[in-house]
Amino acid sequence: MSCVLSHEAVIAELWSGMTLGIGGWGSRRKPMSLVQAIVDSSLEDLTVVSYGGPDVGMLCAAGKVRKLVFGFVSLDSIPLEPNFRRARQSGAIEVMELDEGMFLQGLRAAAWNLPFLPTRAGLGSDVLSTNPQLKTVRDPYGGSDVVAMPALHLDASIVHMNRADESGNAQYLGPDPYMDDWFCLAAKRAYVSCERLGLEPSSPHRLLLNSAMVHGVVVAPGGAGFTQCLPDYSRDEAAQRAYVKGVKR
């Protein structure tokens, strides 16, 4: 059974006020065509959960973000994301700022149907003081306290992969899967845009996502926008610079 959808059909399955996970990392393999479709939609009031890049910046600039869950927002070759900075510096968005590893533990907890996962990451830092809802727990076996990172439950996730098939199996061909598998597992619904339909003959470990984790596939050549999508294309640095330049100061 085919789960191939159009961009519009994916947008129709999303709703204002939802919690949305976005895969990729910084300015790498971001589902930018789906992000653009959200920008162009009437969706608003989103809680966005992302290892952030221009996805976060564009959604902030479009006024779509009520709350951001993040560990960083960066364009990699340009360290700071101008639209995200503007949103933060004007107090326009609520934030939950996490250590990158706590963030991963939160996705894993959601994926595994656990209320939380323990981690040392965050102890002693202002991540705990700026997020008073985060608790530490006593090691029941007599060790020291650890952070109980709560599950980051996602209503939906969007990720971009190099290849996918009609059933929702998907393949990354670049150097790093990022956290895309966890974004899909942590979400009730996961949508994968892909450069091309059809899986490549390649090592099985590149088949990161399977049809049990994916609810919709969108065929989107160039769907990572100017972000890096190796080996299909590298980052379009000129386009990224133009994006940054276009941000009003």
Partner 1 sequence: MRGDYCVVSCAELFRGDGAILASPMGPIPALGARLARATFEPRLLLTDGVSTLLDANDEPVGWMPYQRVFDMVWSGRRHVLMGASQIDQWGNQNISCIGDYDRPKVMLLGVRGAPGNTVCHPTSYFVGKHSSRVFVPSVDMVSGVGVDRGAHEIRGVVSNLGVFDFSSGSMGIRSLHPGVTVDEVKAATGFELNIPEPVPVTRELTVDERAVLERLDPGGAVRAQVS
CA distances from 79 to 72, 82, 85, 212 (A): 10, 10, 11, 36
Burial of residue 55 (CB within 10 Å: 0-12, 13-18, 19+) is buried
Q: Any contact of residue 100 with partner 1 (CB under 8 A)?
A: yes
Q: Any contact of residue 130 with partner 1 (CB under 8 A)?
A: yes
Q: Any contact of residue 118 with partner 1 (CB under 8 A)?
A: no
CA distances from 236 to 48, 98, 232 (A): 24, 29, 12
Q: Return the number of the residue (27 or 36) whose C-beta is nearest partner 1.
A: 27
For partner 1, the binding residue among 19, 20, 25, 236 (CB under 8 A) is 25
Minimum CB distance to partner 1, residue 26 (Å): 10
Nearest to 36 by CA among 224, 178, 195, 184: 224
Q: Any contact of residue 136 with partner 1 (CB under 8 A)?
A: no
Q: Return the number of the residue (72 or 191) whose C-beta is nearest partner 1.
A: 72
Minimum CB distance to partner 1, residue 222 (Å): 22
Q: Return the number of the residue (34 or 102) whose C-beta is nearest partner 1.
A: 102
207, 47 in Cβ contact below 8 A?
no
Q: Return the number of the residue (5 or 93) whose C-beta is nearest partner 1.
A: 93
For partner 1, the binding residue among 42, 126, 133, 201 (CB under 8 A) is 126
Residues in region 182-201 near partner 1 by CB under 8 A: none
Whole-angstrom distance, CA of residue 197 vs CA of residue 15: 27
Minimum CB distance to partner 1, residue 168 (Å): 21
Q: Any contact of residue 55 with partner 1 (CB under 8 A)?
A: no
Nearest to 192 by CA among 31, 26, 48, 53: 31
Task: Give residues with Cβ within 8 angstroms of 14, minimum separation 6.
Answer: 20, 38, 41, 43, 156
**Does residue 150 have a cis peptide bond before it, meaning omega lies within 30 degrees of 0?**
no
Residues binding partner 1 (CB under 8 A) = 25, 52, 70-74, 79-80, 84-85, 88-91, 97-102, 104, 119-127, 130, 175-179
